[in-house]
Chain A
């Protein structure tokens, strides 16, 4: 089973990039780009999203310390307020937390985790959903029935519940072997398993439509194998809606990760993501040490808001009926 997946993705390597590219260049020419330039709000949102991604990618260059390395934290520097307040101290722009962790650096590194988990979760969910959607749509019949019934069941549960369940099960199976790395994997899997249905339904729908078209029959006639037809011809046609789902899912995945961390079932406190920072900071909010929760909270809200705005715009732009 896993071998088959690997070989598929190997073949996938060269061609779909071209397909995606052609789709992308088509998109740039089209009214998609036009509507992007027309909406100032969308441009701001895109700018913020890109900025956050850059901040996360170059976190180690921008941060004054590595907040995940306990040796770099000085307890002496704990609970310093932001730079512009009376007690502020350089280089701690946004102040420090209880452990002497620079809040700005912690946000950068935390954002990196949030985005990494979000993106990986979305990719995992997308791969799973697209794969199952293709299989269900192409083969139809009993296979389709089983996959779509599972999707129905899954859809009845909100993502956060599924994520919490996966998390709880992983904890009870792995127990004390659960270190930071495997926790990351568990987070990605629990998010991925919560969001695959959207992709599967969309892909299945378009496959059902496309597979009866003449070009597919023609391709079948010249002897192209089924996976090849689907990946080369059918899949590119679903890219638009999938991109919309992926964008909106990214925001949801980031919220889910933050919520899990806020509930205390995410990454350990020594490796805080944005949700963990907010949970820890929440304890100091009422003590007047507001900056520990306020800035991570703002960063998280801004990130999700911009991604959502992008997703909204993308959906409207790709679906002229709604405009």
Chain B
């Protein structure tokens, strides 16, 4: 157990190291940072002085270790666009993205499980077929089209929901939340659905498949034979067995949700990290791009690590195999 955990941690560190090299190369080689900082009138001597002060004349290995040391302390340099430390910008916008990602995941879990269970138990009803169709659409329609469609329907035509932004937010220390105000909650609805639809589809398909699988197993047949009520069998046994993989998938997908919020945030002008990243790509703001890459990888790697470890804690049988399955 300990050996397994250690191995996973070492692997995670190696991944972060590799991503760090990519981020550093972007930062260092894609576009001369000095050119981005100075004006046209800056003399060559001044440029050289800036190069030295930034340590750009040091050996690359040394530069990378500086970059890594800074990154480990969450110092990612200054944004070319905003002239502010990238870390400050990211921290300021992180609550918006995390809140959206969590709401989207909750939405995806609740509806995904409900729809999945229903379509497994009542396979041939019209509603189940409808759910299947919805799931196909959820996979096929690009996120931005769904967002545009929702805005057109609920913000412009019906005027029920706000079309952009977070509404009113409340400050709790450095964290800002839209969950405590009515306008904040209303603003969350459409972006959460847009972002969560893909995950919902995934979970629904998974739950349906798992339920069907479990219902075929012997112990359900025995339970039936013992005369347990259908309700107890379905929800007490079948669903419970289904939930472990579902939660695992939802956990693993959380990183994807954060990354996909790039598109949702652009459509809804949601002031999160994704919008910041898209603006950075459009404006070739390398420090933000590199920092975002590192941030998202850190989130991904952490989630993977935690899920792996939890998984082995929950289900000891998996310890041997899970190392390769991730």
Contact = CB atoms under 8 A, between A and B. Distances in A.
The dominant DSSP class at the B interface is helix
Interface in A157-182: 157-158, 160-161, 164-165, 167-169, 171-173
A93 to B, nearest CB: 22
Contacts of B300: 156-157
Interface residue tally of chain B, by bracket? 35 or more
A230 interface: no
Contacts of A164: 262, 277-278, 281
B213 to A, nearest CB: 11
Interface stretch (A12-20, A130-138, A293-301): A293-301
Interface residues of A, number: 38
A264 B148 CA distance: 16
A172 B25 CA distance: 13
A103 interface: no
Given A165-B293, A305-B137, A258 B18 contact: no
B142 A262 contact: yes
Contact of B297 (A157, A293, A301): A157
Given A153-B15, A156-B301, A278 B144 contact: yes
Identify which of A149, A167, A263, A304 gathers the most chain B CB atoms within 10 Å of its CB.
A263
B91 interface: no
Interface string A274-290: 01001000100110000
Contacts of A308: 136, 139-140
B142 A293 contact: no
Contacts of A293: 148
B136 A304 contact: no
B145 A300 contact: yes
Contacts of A275: 142
Nearest to A285: B152
Contacts of B278: 164, 263
B30 interface: yes
Identify which of B19, B143, B262, B281 gathers the most chain A CB atoms within 10 Å of its CB.
B281
Identify which of B18, B139, B256, B263 gathers the most chain A CB atoms within 10 Å of its CB.
B139
B152 A160 contact: no
B296 interface: yes
A259 B282 contact: no
A309 interface: yes
Contact of A305 (B14, B136, B326): B136
A251 B140 contact: yes
Nearest to A302: B140
A156 B284 contact: no
A172 B33 CA distance: 11
A2 to B, nearest CB: 22
B31 interface: yes
A172 B137 contact: no
A269 interface: no
Interface of B: 11, 14-15, 18-19, 26, 30-31, 136-137, 139-145, 148, 152, 156, 255-256, 259-260, 262-263, 266, 277-278, 280-282, 284, 286, 289, 293, 296-297, 300-301, 304, 326
Given A153-B19, A160-B262, A259-B142, 8 more contacts: A153-B15, A156-B301, A165-B289, A171-B281, A173-B31, A258-B142, A263-B262, A285-B148
